[in-house]
């Protein structure tokens, strides 16, 4: 992998969009989004859409940079 995080993330998201659930990152990123949404719904400061984005973003980052 290159050192360009934005480029790697773009490539990964494009791959996920093209391959759907067959892509190896789709399941974990969707799970992270769901966990983030639940956490956002429970926490009084964060709304569920923000939690969803944070959860998906964090999981995608951890897939790119373990």
Three-state SS sequence of 21-35: HHCCCHHHHHHHHHH
Tens of pLDDT, residues 11-26: 999 999 999 999 999 9
Reply yes or no on whether the pLDDT at 1 is more than 60: no
Question: Is 6 within the bounds of a domain?
Answer: no
Structural domains counted in the chain: 1
Question: Is 48 within the bounds of a domain?
Answer: yes
Distance spanning both ends of the chain, measured CA to CA: 12
Span 27-43, mean pLDDT? Answer: 94
- pLDDT given at position 66: 83
CB 52 within 8 A of CB 33: yes
Question: Is 35 within the bounds of a domain?
Answer: yes
CB 51 within 8 A of CB 43: yes
Domain hosting residue 61, numbered range: 25-66
Most confident range (mean pLDDT) of 2-6, 42-46, 60-64 is 60-64
Question: Is 30 within the bounds of a domain?
Answer: yes
């Amino acid at each position: 992998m290159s050192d360009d995080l934005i480029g790697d993330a773009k490539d990964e998201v494009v791959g996920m969009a093209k391959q759907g659930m067959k892509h190896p990152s789709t399941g974990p990123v969707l799970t992270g989004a769901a966990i983030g949404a639940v956490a956002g719904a429970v926490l009084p400061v964060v709304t569920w859409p923000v939690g969803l984005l944070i959860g998906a973003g964090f999981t995608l980052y951890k897939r790119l940079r373990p």
